[in-house]
Structure 1
Amino acid sequence: MPFTTSSVEFASLGTTLRGWFITGDDSSPQPTIVMAHGFAGHKEWVRPFAEALANAGFACLVYDHACFGDSDGEPRQEVDPWRQVEGYRDAVTFAESLPGVDADRIGVWGTSFAGGHAIVVGAVDHRVKAVVAQVPLTAGAPTLERLIPAPMWPIVDETIAADRRAQSAGAAPLTIPSSSADPTEMVAMPGADVYEWLMANGPQISTWRNEVTVSSIDKVRTYTPEAFAERLGTTPIQFIVADGDVLTPVDLALRAHHTVVGPKHLKILGGSHFSVYEENFAEAAETAVAFFSDTLG
């Protein structure tokens, strides 16, 4: 199905967020999916999934989180999960105002870190009628405890504390690499596969930076999307997980899926976290299309 892309912007907590509204040529009100990227990601990595949905007759609002990509927000490269959740909810409000959107058929789709956001938003915002959580981060502190080796935690804790003291005195936020080829370096997302994927997909985006603020790590530790899974009520959710995922551990995602008491679906794909963007992209996208077609179509 032919579709058109328009650049859009909207406000969230006093910050301008920017993205694309992708819609088909159908003049009747369309079911609409609000979509955003994962940890330190960019909307360009979400666009292929949006196009798959647009080809199936959905309108899609895709945007960059505050402090990343084309969106405003300070400090740059700050991952603030609760601020990002508010961004999703403000994106839903903005979507309701767009021509061609059926405000009674709005879904949210999130991948990786934003997969957790999709769960939270679906649980607290009843304008959302369906949720897709793709390779979602479902538990902040337990995930970090697996990713960061135990001997590194005293260094991490002291670095976070030192950064808070320095910022209180007027210093700029301290940053660390998102990932690195050096396994001894303090990073947000350890692992050779993470670094290789980022290096293959980040540099072609002009606003991409291989860094996040140190305070991002502190904020992720407070994030508890798993606590919202059982609060989805009657809002249906589709989990898409990769059985070899260690970045957003698959067993934690399955645990969150188990706690959902309402309508739920589970698709388990083979491969690593990044397989949904690569070799399993078609199946992941088709799963989302089928689910939204059943729930919003």
Structure 2
Amino acid sequence: MTDTIEHVAVKALAWDLAADLHLPPEFDATRHYPAIVSVHPIGSCKEQTSGNVYARALAADGFVVIAFDASFQGASGGTPRSVEDPYFRVQDISHVIDHLVTLPYVDADRIGVIGVCGGGAYAVNATMTDRRIKAVGSVTGVNFGRLMHEAFSGYDPVAALDAIAEQRTAEARGAEPRVNQYLPDSPEAAEAQGLTELDLVEATDYYRTDRGQAPGGRTEALFSRQATAVGWDAFHRAEVLLTRPLCVVVGDRPGAFGAYRDGLEIYRRAASKDKELVVAEGFSHYDLYDRPEAVGIALERLIPFYRRHLQEEPRTHA
């Protein structure tokens, strides 16, 4: 598979988003192409699964695909760094679409979105309110708001909010920022700590080894800026607002991050008349990041899904 990638800057609020445009084979700038925005997981970057796996495969099938770094993360702008704010993450998708619709070779009426892990739920949420999105795919999507409200706050969200408020006040007065690491430093460190939970172990294997490690992938978050996530819900009003075609992909080996339950929930709740649930039997959350067999199951359904809803014979434009 030959890659043609253009590095572009996308205007956000007061900074730029760093993005990679993955172009289809025999790309012809005089034609109109369907386009897909690819949204990376929490703690990830555009060079990892959203870019080097899903964007690459979809571009090879004839789509223009743009993978980008979230605001405050990777090579994108925004300060302070390492902020994971769902509202910014969702707005980033619309900023990227703003860029796509200015490109003469992109058909503005045929834009879709795909997201992996937290990016899957962000993609779903963006599709509810940005009607320029015509189809959405979620690969092992995790509702980060639900995760923050539950496990990531120790199942005591009010106490977590009190701690976040105290830390933010301290930082405003000059204290050192508190940056929380999502993962151990290495698989060996995870083993030494006696960690056995499936998602945590497999995340460490992906992000902390040559398998998936990338300079822009920072599995960390600024604690003082996490209050918004505790009160956020990616699926709020899905029964009314999520009407676009939806394809949800999950593995049936569930882990603590909750992609399996979140996938079934959004599939059930979505108002979409055209919706698909793909269960990769025998595979886990992180298998769907890059393991060829698991990814193959996902793409076997995602590619026809996007073809059906976005793709038609490209037409020459003036």
TM-score by length of 2: 0.83
Following superposition, the deviation at residue 217 of structure 1 comes to: 3.8
2:34 to 26, 31, 34: 31
- Residues 148 and 190 of structure 1 are in contact (CA less than 8 Å); yes or no, is this contact kept in structure 2? no
Cross-structure match for 1:256 = 266
Following superposition, the deviation at residue 218 of structure 1 comes to: 2.7
Corresponding pairs, count: 293
Secondary structure in 2 aligned to 1:131?
A: strand
Unaligned runs of 5+ in 2: 312-318
- Residues 67 and 78 of structure 1 are in contact (CA less than 8 Å); yes or no, is this contact kept in structure 2? yes
Cross-structure match for 1:62 = 67
Equivalent-residue separation in structure 2 for 1:172 and 1:116 (angstroms): 31
Following superposition, the deviation at residue 274 of structure 1 comes to: 0.4
Structure 1 segment 75-94 matched on structure 2, within 5 A = 75-94=80-99
Equivalent-residue separation in structure 2 for 1:146 and 1:84 (angstroms): 21
Cross-structure match for 2:280 = 269
Following superposition, the deviation at residue 34 of structure 1 comes to: 0.8
Following superposition, the deviation at residue 158 of structure 1 comes to: 5.5
Equivalent-residue separation in structure 2 for 1:144 and 1:105 (angstroms): 35
- Residues 238 and 288 of structure 1 are in contact (CA less than 8 Å); yes or no, is this contact kept in structure 2? yes
Aligned-partner residue type, residue 298 of structure 2: A
Tell me, yes or no, if structure 1 residue 296 matches structure 2 residue 303: no
- Residues 251 and 285 of structure 2 are in contact (CA less than 8 Å); yes or no, is this contact kept in structure 1? yes
Cross-structure match for 1:211 = 220
Q: Which moved more, 1:206-215 or 1:252-261?
A: 206-215
Equivalent-residue separation in structure 2 for 1:102 and 1:231 (angstroms): 27
Structure 1 segment 98-247 matched on structure 2, within 5 A = 98-138=103-143, 140-141=145-146, 144-146=149-151, 149-150=154-155, 156=160, 159-180=163-184, 181=189, 191-200=200-209, 204-246=213-255, 247=257
Cross-structure match for 2:315 = none
Query: CA 1:233 to 1:153, structure 2 compared with 1: closer, same or farther past 3 Å?
Result: closer
Secondary structure in 1 aligned to 2:18?
A: strand
Equivalent-residue separation in structure 2 for 1:148 and 1:166 (angstroms): 20
- Residues 16 and 76 of structure 2 are in contact (CA less than 8 Å); yes or no, is this contact kept in structure 1? yes
Following superposition, the deviation at residue 253 of structure 1 comes to: 2.2
Cross-structure match for 1:9 = 9
Secondary structure in 1 aligned to 2:253?
A: coil
Cross-structure match for 1:44 = 47
Unaligned runs of 5+ in 1: none
- Residues 275 and 281 of structure 1 are in contact (CA less than 8 Å); yes or no, is this contact kept in structure 2? yes
- Residues 28 and 100 of structure 1 are in contact (CA less than 8 Å); yes or no, is this contact kept in structure 2? yes
Equivalent-residue separation in structure 1 for 2:216 and 2:123 (angstroms): 24
Equivalent-residue separation in structure 2 for 1:202 and 1:158 (angstroms): 38
Following superposition, the deviation at residue 173 of structure 1 comes to: 2.9
Alignment RMSD (CA, Å): 2.7
Secondary structure in 2 aligned to 1:226?
A: coil
Q: Which moved more, 1:192-201 or 1:54-63?
A: 192-201
Following superposition, the deviation at residue 112 of structure 1 comes to: 0.8
Identity of aligned residues (%): 26
Following superposition, the deviation at residue 147 of structure 1 comes to: 5.2
Cα deviation code 1:93-117 (max 9, x no counterpart): 1101113101110001111111111
Query: CA 1:72 to 1:142, structure 2 compared with 1: closer, same or farther past 3 Å?
Result: closer
Query: CA 1:125 to 1:146, structure 2 compared with 1: closer, same or farther past 3 Å?
Result: same
Secondary structure in 2 aligned to 1:167?
A: helix
Aligned-partner residue type, residue 43 of structure 1: K
